Amino acid sequence: MQHSTHQTELAGKVPLRDALRALLPRTKEEMKLDLSERVDRSVVTLLKQATDLFYGGRVSECLEASEAICDYSWEKLNTGAWQEVDKDWRRVYTFGCLLKVLCLCAAPGEAAPVPAALKVCDMGLLMGAAILEDILIKVAAILQKYLSGKRPGPAPAQEQHSIKKARKEHASAPDMSSERAVPRLHCPSLQYFREHHLVPERPVILEGVANHWPCMKKWSVQYIQEIAGCRTVPVELGSRYTDEEWSQRLMTVSEFISKYILGEPKDIGYLAQHQLFDQIPELKQDISVPDYCCLGDGEDEDITINAWFGPPGTVSPLHQDPQQNFLAQVIGRKYIRLYSPRESEALYPHSTHLLHNTSQVDVESPDLERFPRFAEAPFLSCVLCPGEVLFIPAKCWHYVRALDVSFSVSFWWS
């Protein structure tokens, strides 16, 4: 089904409620979840009742039921550690969000509160789990197409000036004259990369690998705002996740850009380690999975792609990850240090299980009285620039600080 990007054309050709309804199973019997016994039978019954209400055209009653489903499953999602939440409760939450969106958009034409519906959709995508062949992603795409007809034209002159100003602001770069540089290669063959970097676990900057990606020409702060501005995302608040005052907050991409990229806030906001490209496929079309990922054991769908978007000065403390990582720089520059896993003792990892993969040391301002061995630990460093891709081997310690407004894409693979 073709969906116009202009609201009036979309509404004229395919009313919003009809476009959404076309995504659903034809019968209510097909629209059900196979849930484990861990989900209360009363909730299973409520899901069936809500579905019956929707297919029976009793929208207002279905809306009440869907809100009850969302509220009850939300409590389950926020009880205990996240990794211990049963996936079926996440699916129940997604189902509730789906029904709520359908009910909100059942009103004809302008009466449908599409921004509110899209926020509900994003909450389902962020907190829930896939149901009905990822139907919520398809619903969100239709809502965003519908809203695109309401997108404003070019930003006002004052905002345009702010965007240009944001691009020119920089954080100070360190003196790297005495530091060993990360080696660089231009489009190495798969075999060469495997033999000289993947197997021996040696970091390298790959040049010429990502230059042809559409994002390298298309993406800017303004473009991200136009494409993703109405979407709700989790934003980290605080200079780094190891700080006591660090927290997270949900907000739209537009709110994030306005406050933390263009504004002058007291704290730092960072859209970090977020699977934005699953949420907004339109952006995913502008990037490519590096060919070198085929050297791993998994399939393409096993690769985790994350977005990292923030102002100058955002910091990822020295830490290590269990998977191989390609970090592609799209906007701005980042200063990066890399330490071998063999240096772990000199990097003083936290003793707590939650932060066992993170160093206690403030890399660029170390307390050498508390951490004397850190000064002796050898490292590689670089400033990663747009179009460059850094290979970070699994368990390689890395520290990252943005020097400019920055957008990076990471690919975690096994």
Between 170 and 162, whose confidence is greater?
Answer: 170
- Which of these ranges, 45-54, 137-146, 233-242, 311-320, has the smallest mean pLDDT? 233-242
Banded pLDDT at 9 (limits 50, 70, 90)? very low
Q: Encoding tokens for residue 349?
A: 């990892």
- How high is the pLDDT of residue 111? 55
| Residues 43-53, mean pLDDT to the nearest whole number | 95
CA dist 166 and 162 (Å) reads 6
DSSP state of 227: H
CB-based contacts of 371: which residues, under 8 Å, 6+ apart? 348, 360, 361
Can you give the pTM of this predicted structure? 0.86
Between 175 and 4, whose confidence is greater?
Answer: 175
Angle at 145 (CA atoms; ends 144, 151), nearest 5 degrees: 80
CA dist 299 and 143 (Å) reads 30
- How high is the pLDDT of residue 8? 39
Banded pLDDT at 4 (limits 50, 70, 90)? very low
CA distances from 379 to 106, 207, 413 (A): 58, 21, 23
Banded pLDDT at 112 (limits 50, 70, 90)? low
Banded pLDDT at 1 (limits 50, 70, 90)? very low
pLDDT digits (tens, 9 = 90+) for 225-269: 999 999 999 999 987 777 777 888 999 999 999 999 999 888 899
Between 323 and 242, whose confidence is greater?
Answer: 323
Q: Is 226 buried (19+), middle (13-18) or exposed (0-12) by CB count in 10 A?
A: middle
Task: Give the ranges where 152-214 is alpha helix by DSSP (H).
Answer: 157-168, 190-193
Average pLDDT over all residues of the chain: 89
- Judge whether residue 306 has pLDDT over 80: yes
Q: Are 408 and 327 in contact (CB under 8 A)?
A: yes
- How high is the pLDDT of residue 166? 56
Banded pLDDT at 161 (limits 50, 70, 90)? low
- How high is the pLDDT of residue 11? 42
H or E segment and range at residue 45: helix 41-55
Amino acid identity, position 99? L
